[in-house]
Structure 1
Amino acid sequence: MEAEESRSQLPGDEATAVEVTAEQLVARAIAPIKKEFLRPPPVRSSSADNEAAAAATNDNKNPAHPGSGLLKDKKSKRQLKRERRQEQKSARNLCPEVAKTGDVTSCPYKDKCRYSHDIEAFKAQKPADLEGQCPFVKSGGPCPYGLACRFSSTHEDGVLSSTGHLNGLKNSSEVNGLSKDVQKLLWKNKMRFSKADAKLKSLGLLCPKSKMKDMENKDGENGGSNKCSLSDDNGCCEVASDLGPKLEEAIKDDDADAKYETDELCPQKRRKTGVNCDPSEIEKGVNVTEEIERGSINTEPEAGCDTLTIKTDLSLKLHPREKKLIDFRDKLYLAPLTTVGNLPFRRVCKVLGADVTCGEMAMCTNLLQGQASEWALLRRHSSEDLFGVQICGAYPDTVARTVELIEQECTIDFIDINMGCPIDIVVNKGAGSALLTKPMRMKNIVEVASSTVDKPITIKVRTAYFEGKNRIDSLIADMGSWGAGAVTIHGRSRQQRYSKLADWDYIYQCGRKAPKTLPVVGNGDVFSFVDWNNHRTACPELATCMVARGALIKPWIFTEIKEQRHWDISSGERLNILKEFVHFGLEHWGSDTKGVETTRRFLLEWLSYTCRYVPVGLLEVIPQRINWRPPSYYGRDELETLMASDSAADWIRISEMLLGKVPDGFTFAPKHKSNAYDRAENG
C-alpha cells in the first residue's frame, strides 16, 4: 500500500511541521500510521519541567533514594536469615499442609514448623479472592493450595479426600522436575558422570587429578581462578574446588550418605522417578539387565572391590551421524527466549500454532550445582510434543556432564548448545558468543556432547563476535562431522547485539555451504508470513526459520504463517490471549498470593514487548517491520490504546484487569531494555 497524502509523523523531538510521506517514514524505520490515529505531540510547559526537576532534587535528598549516593546500612546474613524466619512465621505464610487440609493437626512438624498455623489470622489478612474460577478446579482436578488459593471461594465441597490429602498432584501435566535425591548428590558434589568422563578421557579433554590438585594449591596465586592449565583452545575443566566442602558442611545427613553410597559406586543404577519423568517413558542407560543383554557393560568386578562397577562400552555407541535427527524442515520453531520464553508463554504459542519449542537458556554450572531455579527452566508441558532444552557452558567437561545429567533426568527431544549469547556476564566467563573466537573449543564441546548422549545435539551461533569478521561460513562444512544435528544461525554479530537488521544474505551463504545432512535454521527479524516466505524462497537449502522477538511482540505470528494472512487482531482477541497466559501461569506458578504475583511479574515482562505491535488496520504500509519505531497513536478503542502504551503504569493497569489490584508499594521495571530501534539509522 502506498500513501498519497503526506503528514507530520516523527516521534519525540523530531516531531516538527515537516510533512513526510509513508515511504520516507519507512526509510527512517518509523511505523507509517494512518493520519486519523496519530496522537498530537504533548506540549510540556516550562513550569512542569521545573516541578519535575524539583521533585527529582527532593528525591535525591532522600537517603533511601537509589540515586542519592547515600547507602543504606548493609544487613548481615544472620540478620537477613532472622527476618526471613520471622516473615515465614507471620500470619501471611500459612503452613502449606494446613492450607491444603484446613486441619491444624495435619502438619507433621507440629510446633517445630517454620510456618504459621493460625488459620483465622491468615484469613483476616488474606487479600480478597480474585474473580473467576480456580485454574486447577477448572482443569478438572483438586486445588493443591486449599485455603491459600486466591480462588478458594470457588472450591467445591469434596475437594479433599477422606484422608485429608489432595486427590491430585500440582502440575501433573508437567515433567522434568529435579528429584531431591539427585539434587542432594549434586549439592554434595558426589554425582558421578561415567559416560561423560570416559568420552572426555578418550578425547584427551579430562583434566588429570594431579593437575587439579596443582590448581587448588595455586588458586591464591592466580587470583582465585580455577581454570585448568591445559590448552585454552581445548577448553579444559573449570573446577569449583570449594563447592563440595562448603555444601557438605551445610548438609549433614548421615542416613542420606548411607543411602547414596551404592549410587556413588555404581552411578548407572540411578533411575528416573515418577516425580520427574513420564511414567510411560522407557528408562535408558540405567537398567542393568538390559545393558547386560546388549553387551554394553562390563560385569566383571575389579580386584579388591566388593561392588559391581558398571563401565560403558563406548565402542558400541552410535556414531553422531547415525543418530535419529529432528526433522526441522518447514516447522514453526519458537526460539528459546530468556525470561519471557517461560512454560506458560510456550503453551500460548503452541495453541497459536508453534511446532517446535525450546526452554530458556540454562547455565551448565548452575545445573551441575543443583540450583532449583535453573532446573525450573527445563520443565516441559505435555502439549509440547517436540521440545528441546538450551544450555550454555564454556568448557567441554562442563557441557558433557550437563548433557549426561539432562538425558538421565529429563524427557526431551533434543539439546541445544548456545554459542551466540551476547550478554556480558556470559561472555566474560568464556561461554556464549565468546566461543566464536575459539573454534577448536567449539569443536570439542560439540564432539564430546554428541558422543556422550543419544539425543540430538544442536547448536545456536551468531555470524561472528566482531562486526565485519564473519566466520561461521568457514566452519559450517565441518559442524556435521563434529556431531551437530542442526545449526541455527542468528544473522547478527555479538557486537551488534540486537541493533540493525539481521544479515540474511550471509545466512543464505552459510545454508548453501552446509552439507545436505546438516539442517540449517535461519534466525532474525521474522515478523510476518511475508518474511517467512521470502527467506524460504530465497534459500531452499534452509530447513526452516526460527521466530524469536516476533513471537514476543505478536505470538499469533504462527497462526499468520500457517494461514498465510495478515491477522488484523482486535483488542478483545489480544486480551483473550493474555487471559489464557494468566490461566497457564497460575497453573504453573500457583494460585496462591505468591503464584499470582509471580504470574503478574512475567505478564508485565511480556507486555513490555507486546506494546510494540501496531495493529494492521492502523498501518498505511503492511506488514510491520520489527525495527519500526511506532509514534504515539490512538487505537480503535480504549483497550487498544491502552495496549499501545509504552508506560509501565499502563501495563500494570492491564495486569489488574486480569489478576486484581497490585499490592501496596508495587513497582515494576522491565528486565530487558531493547536497543532494537534506539537510533533511526539502525534500520
Structure 2
Amino acid sequence: MAQFPPGTAPIKAEYLLSGPAPSSAPDDDAAEGSRNCIGGTWRSEEPRSSGPSRKKMSKEEKKAQRGQNKGRRFGKIRDEFDLCWKIANGAACEHGTECRFNHDIASYLTTKPRDIRISRVTEISENSPFIPETPPDALSDASICPVFAELGECRYGFKCRFLGSHVRTDQVGSLSLFTDEVRMANAAVSAREVNFVGSEAQKMLRSKKYQFPIADAYMKEQKFAEDAPRKSEKETLIVLEPEQMEMEIELSSTPAGNSASIKEENEISVENSKILSEKVVQRTGDLSSQADTPDVPVRYREKKRLNWSGKTYLAPLTTVGNLPFRRLCVAYGADITCGEMGLATSLLSGSKEEWSLVRRHPSESTFGVQVAGNKPNTLVPTAEVLAKEIGSNLDFVDLNCGCPIDLVFKAGSGSALLDAAGKLGRIVVGMNKALGEIPVTVKLRTGVKEGQNTVHKLMPRLSTEFGASCLTLHGRTRQQRYTKLADWDYIKQCVEAVRAKEAEEDLVPVPIFGGGDCFSSQDYWSCVEQSGVDGVMVARGALIKPWIFTEIKEHREWDISSRERLDLIGKYAEYGLSHFGTDTAGVNATRRYLCESLSFQYRYTPIGLLERLPGRINDRTPTFRGRDDLETLLASDDSRDWVKISEMFLGPAPEAWSFTPKHKSNSYDSQG
C-alpha cells in the first residue's frame, strides 16, 4: 500500500487494478441536504481530479465540486394512456363521461408496457451477463406482484405492472381482478402501513381551521411570562454582562412592535415560573451562565419510560431514510427507527408530501417522528397535531437540534438551537405538554463553531429541567460537518455531565446515544464501552452497509457475499414497490430511491479483500476488482451501473428516465 497516501483502504494486492490513486472521500454533507430540486440537472463537465499526477484544483474548483446536486429533477413518468383509478380497480367512476381519465380498459392494456418480472437472486449469475434475456409475456403468471403477495389485494388494479399476479381471463377472454381473502385477513395487522393522516385533517390545517387548545394555552402562558416582568421591573434584579447590556440598550430603542421578536432572537427574556419551576428566573443565551440558574427540575412522571439500553438505533436520514429503507434495516436488526426530518411549518400547512414522512410499517417496533423548527409557536402545535392524529402509533417525537445545512441553520432551526438554550427549553417543555405521555427526544451536535464544544452545558438541563426523555449526540460541531472524525472523548464528557446532574437531582437516567463514524461491530461496542453511552445511533454506516445491525447484534464482522448483497437489494425493491406503488409511477419512484441507496452502498469494500480489519468509514478506496463480476459491479461508482442493477428487479428503465446522484462527488459517468 506504499504507493497510496494515508487513509487509503488496505486492499490485498491481488485485487488491486492499475489506475489513479483513490480520490477524496465522497461528500457526505449532501446526505443531510434538502429534498427539493431546483433548476436543471447538474452535470460534471470534467472527471474528478485525483492522484499526484493530476493538476491540483484551486480553492474555487474544490468548492464547486463539493456538496449537493441541487438541480436534480425526478419527474413522474406515467402511462401514455392514463386509465381512471376507479375503473382500474373494477369500480364505477362517479364522474362518468366527464372524467378526464380514460375508461377503456381494453385500449389501455394494448398500450401498457409488458409486465415486470422480479428476478429471483438464485436466477442471477455472479458473472456477466447476469440475467438471461427471456422476458415474460405481457400478462404472465411468472410476474409476482409484491403488493398482492403481501396484502392479498393490489390497490393499483389494472394499472399494476405485475398484473398477471391478480387477474383472471374468463371463457370469452374478458379480464377480471381477484383478491386473496386469507392473505387480506393476515395482512390487516402485520403488513399494512399506518399513520395515514386523513384528508379532512390536512384540509383543516391548510385552511387554518385546525384547533390547538393545548398549544394556544401554552403560548398564552408564554406571553404572560414575557409581560409580567415589565410590570414589576423595580422588584426584579437583573445582572447583565457588558455585551448583553449593549443588546438591551439596542432593544430599548426598537419600536414596540418588533421588540418581542428581537428579544427572542437574542435570548434575553425573563420567563414565568409556572412554565418550568414555579418561580421567576432570568435567562440569557449565554451558555456559560445557565449552569448557575437556580431552576427546579420539571419531572414528567406521566411520560412513557424509554428503556433503550442495548438497542440498535437507525438515525433519521433525509431522502434516503424513507420507509422502505427503514424496513430493510429492521430486517437486518435495527430496533429503533425514526422518520425523515419533517419541517414544522410544512406539517402545519397540511403538506401532503410532508405528512407522508410520518408513515410507519408494522415491522418498526419502536418508531418516532423527527421535526425541525425554530419557535415554540410552530413546534408546540406540531406536537399537538401529531399526538391527535397518529399518537396511538407513535413511540416518541424527536426534535432536530443537529441539522447543519445552511437553509435550516439560517432559519434558526436545527443546530442553530444549540446557541438558544432559553428558546429550546420553552420548545421542549411545550412539546411535552402537547404530546401527553409520548416522550420527547432531542438530537444534538457538540456545538456550532469548530473548536467550541458547548453542548455539555446544555444536555444536563435538557434531561433534568426541560423533560427530554432521550438525548442523542453527534460527535461533531455544525461547522465541522464531516471534515473531521467524531469526538468520542467529548461525548464521554457530556454523558458524565448528564449523569452527574441526574444523580444530584435523584432522577432516573435517560438514555443517551452517541453518533459518528460507526462502521463495524468493533467500532460500535468500543464506543459504547469507552464513552458510557447506552448505544450508538448509526447513520452513514447503515447507508453504506445496511447489514451493520446484524454485525452489531452478533458481535462479528460479516464478510457478506455479492449474492447476499444482491438479495438485500432485491428486498429493498420489493419494499419500495409496496410503499410507492406497482403502477408505472410507483415503479420509477422505487427505482429512483433504490439508486439513491446504491449511491451509498457502492462505497462498501468487501472485508474479504482487506489486509486488516475492520474497515473504516472514511477510507478512500483504490480501483479494485471483486471476487466475482457481480461484486465488481456492486462496487462501481458509475451511476449508469446503479440503473443497470435496478433493472434486475424493476425491469428496463424508461428511455426518458435518468438518475443524477445526490453527491456531486459521484455525479459523473466513469471515464474509460
Confirm or deny a common fold (TM above 0.5).
yes
Alpha-carbon distance in structure 2 between the residues aligned to 1:226 and 1:598: 47
Which position in structure 2 is the counterpart of 1:459? 442
The CA deviation at 1:449 is 1.1
Given that 1:91 and 1:116 are in contact with CA atoms closer than 8 Å, whether structure 2 keeps it comes out as no
Q: How does 1:258-657 map to 2 (within 5 A)?
A: 319-410=299-390, 411-454=393-436, 455-480=438-463, 481-515=465-499, 516=502, 517-540=509-532, 542-657=533-648
1:114 to 100, 105, 128: 100
Shift in CA distance, 177/227, structure 1 to aligned 2, threshold 3 Å: farther
Given that 2:191 and 2:362 are in contact with CA atoms closer than 8 Å, whether structure 1 keeps it comes out as no
Letter of the structure 1 residue corresponding to residue 114 of structure 2 = A
Letter of the structure 1 residue corresponding to residue 201 of structure 2 = V
The CA deviation at 1:597 is 0.1
How much is the aligned-residue C-alpha RMSD, in angstroms? 3.1
The CA deviation at 1:325 is 2.0
The CA deviation at 1:324 is 2.1
Which position in structure 2 is the counterpart of 1:274? none
Alpha-carbon distance in structure 2 between the residues aligned to 1:639 and 1:391: 40
Give per-residue Cα distances to partners, 1:390-439, cap 9 Å, x unaligned.
00010011100000000111120000000110111111211011111212
Listed as ranges, the gaps of 5+ residues in structure 1 are 1-5, 11-24, 44-62, 69-83, 209-220, 237-317, 676-683
Alpha-carbon distance in structure 2 between the residues aligned to 1:175 and 1:413: 13
Letter of the structure 1 residue corresponding to residue 375 of structure 2 = Y
Alpha-carbon distance in structure 1 between the residues aligned to 2:628 and 2:44: 39
Listed as ranges, the gaps of 5+ residues in structure 2 are 22-39, 46-74, 118-142, 169-175, 228-253, 270-297, 503-508, 667-672
**Does 2:157 match 1:124?**
no
Shift in CA distance, 592/323, structure 1 to aligned 2, threshold 3 Å: same
Which position in structure 2 is the counterpart of 1:195? 214
Given that 1:91 and 1:118 are in contact with CA atoms closer than 8 Å, whether structure 2 keeps it comes out as no
Given that 1:7 and 1:35 are in contact with CA atoms closer than 8 Å, whether structure 2 keeps it comes out as no
Which position in structure 1 is the counterpart of 2:245? none
Alpha-carbon distance in structure 2 between the residues aligned to 1:628 and 1:227: 49
Give per-residue Cα distances to partners, 1:621-645, cap 9 Å, x unaligned.
1111110111111000111000101
2:17 to 34, 39, 50: 39
Given that 1:433 and 1:465 are in contact with CA atoms closer than 8 Å, whether structure 2 keeps it comes out as yes
Letter of the structure 2 residue corresponding to residue 155 of structure 1 = H
The CA deviation at 1:100 is 1.2
Alpha-carbon distance in structure 1 between the residues aligned to 2:306 and 2:665: 32
Give per-residue Cα distances to partners, 1:347-404, cap 9 Å, x unaligned.
1111111111111100000000010100111100111111111000100111000000
Letter of the structure 2 residue corresponding to residue 521 of structure 1 = F
Alpha-carbon distance in structure 2 between the residues aligned to 1:584 and 1:607: 15
Shift in CA distance, 642/409, structure 1 to aligned 2, threshold 3 Å: same
Alpha-carbon distance in structure 1 between the residues aligned to 2:203 and 2:426: 30
**Does 2:105 match 1:94?**
no
Alpha-carbon distance in structure 2 between the residues aligned to 1:115 and 1:431: 43
Alpha-carbon distance in structure 1 between the residues aligned to 2:468 and 2:416: 19
Given that 2:370 and 2:397 are in contact with CA atoms closer than 8 Å, whether structure 1 keeps it comes out as yes
Shift in CA distance, 369/205, structure 1 to aligned 2, threshold 3 Å: farther
Give per-residue Cα distances to partners, 1:525-577, cap 9 Å, x unaligned.
1111101111111133x121111110000011110111111100000000001
Which position in structure 1 is the counterpart of 2:145? 134
Shift in CA distance, 65/569, structure 1 to aligned 2, threshold 3 Å: closer
Which position in structure 1 is the counterpart of 2:159? 148
Which position in structure 1 is the counterpart of 2:120? none
Which position in structure 2 is the counterpart of 1:658? 649
The CA deviation at 1:111 is 2.1
Alpha-carbon distance in structure 1 between the residues aligned to 2:443 and 2:664: 23
Q: Helix, strand or coil: the match of 1:492?
A: coil
Letter of the structure 2 residue corresponding to residue 478 of structure 1 = R
The CA deviation at 1:114 is 2.6
Letter of the structure 1 residue corresponding to residue 89 of structure 2 = K
Letter of the structure 1 residue corresponding to residue 113 of structure 2 = P
The CA deviation at 1:229 is 5.4
Which position in structure 1 is the counterpart of 2:130? none
Alpha-carbon distance in structure 2 between the residues aligned to 1:117 and 1:592: 17
Q: Helix, strand or coil: the match of 2:264?
A: coil
The CA deviation at 1:127 is 1.5
The CA deviation at 1:65 is 10
Give per-residue Cα distances to partners, 1:453-489, cap 9 Å, x unaligned.
2210000010111101111011122111111111111
Letter of the structure 2 residue corresponding to residue 450 of structure 1 = N
Given that 1:144 and 1:169 are in contact with CA atoms closer than 8 Å, whether structure 2 keeps it comes out as no
Given that 1:334 and 1:354 are in contact with CA atoms closer than 8 Å, whether structure 2 keeps it comes out as yes
Alpha-carbon distance in structure 1 between the residues aligned to 2:114 and 2:567: 23
The CA deviation at 1:510 is 0.2
Relative contact order, higher structure (CA 8 A, sep 6+)? 2
Shift in CA distance, 666/140, structure 1 to aligned 2, threshold 3 Å: closer
Alpha-carbon distance in structure 1 between the residues aligned to 2:548 and 2:618: 16
Given that 1:143 and 1:159 are in contact with CA atoms closer than 8 Å, whether structure 2 keeps it comes out as no
Shift in CA distance, 7/230, structure 1 to aligned 2, threshold 3 Å: closer
Shift in CA distance, 447/525, structure 1 to aligned 2, threshold 3 Å: same
Letter of the structure 1 residue corresponding to residue 85 of structure 2 = P
Alpha-carbon distance in structure 1 between the residues aligned to 2:330 and 2:375: 34
Given that 1:363 and 1:393 are in contact with CA atoms closer than 8 Å, whether structure 2 keeps it comes out as yes
Alpha-carbon distance in structure 1 between the residues aligned to 2:114 and 2:259: 52
Alpha-carbon distance in structure 2 between the residues aligned to 1:148 and 1:235: 59
Given that 1:205 and 1:397 are in contact with CA atoms closer than 8 Å, whether structure 2 keeps it comes out as no
Given that 2:591 and 2:646 are in contact with CA atoms closer than 8 Å, whether structure 1 keeps it comes out as yes
Given that 2:559 and 2:606 are in contact with CA atoms closer than 8 Å, whether structure 1 keeps it comes out as yes
Alpha-carbon distance in structure 2 between the residues aligned to 1:583 and 1:135: 6
Letter of the structure 2 residue corresponding to residue 472 of structure 1 = V
Shift in CA distance, 627/120, structure 1 to aligned 2, threshold 3 Å: same
Shift in CA distance, 38/65, structure 1 to aligned 2, threshold 3 Å: closer
Q: Helix, strand or coil: the match of 1:204?
A: helix
Shift in CA distance, 673/403, structure 1 to aligned 2, threshold 3 Å: farther
Letter of the structure 1 residue corresponding to residue 384 of structure 2 = E
Alpha-carbon distance in structure 2 between the residues aligned to 1:67 and 1:555: 29
Letter of the structure 2 residue corresponding to residue 463 of structure 1 = T
Which position in structure 1 is the counterpart of 2:265? 232
Alpha-carbon distance in structure 1 between the residues aligned to 2:427 and 2:224: 10
Shift in CA distance, 581/198, structure 1 to aligned 2, threshold 3 Å: same
The CA deviation at 1:137 is 2.2
The CA deviation at 1:192 is 1.5
